[in-house]
Amino acid sequence: MQRAFKMAGVKNIIMSLWKVPDVQTAELFDNFYTECFAGKTIHEAFQTAQGKMKAKYSPYYWAGFVLLE
């Protein structure tokens, strides 16, 4: 699936490697978009969002998400 997006011209993809519960997924993306709208790059915003999740949850709830550039 990621190959199709890349061939279509998508520059960045955030995808999960396993099923993450919806509550934690929503929290991660809320943090991510908050950081993006605050002016951080996509990479910085993703790292910050994961860092916030890391402080609250075990890796099962946040480490399954990867940023492909």
pLDDT band at 53, cuts 50/70/90?
Answer: very high
CA distance 38 to 54: 20
pLDDT band at 64, cuts 50/70/90?
Answer: very high
pLDDT value for 12: 92
- SS3 state at 47: helix
Q: What's the domain count of the chain?
A: 1
pTM of structure = 0.87
pLDDT value for 1: 72
Domain residue limits at 12: 2-68
Q: Which two tokens stand for residue 44?
A: 């910085």
Summarize pLDDT for 1-50 with one digit per residue, the tens. Answer: 778 888 788 899 999 999 999 999 999 999 999 999 999 999 999 999 99
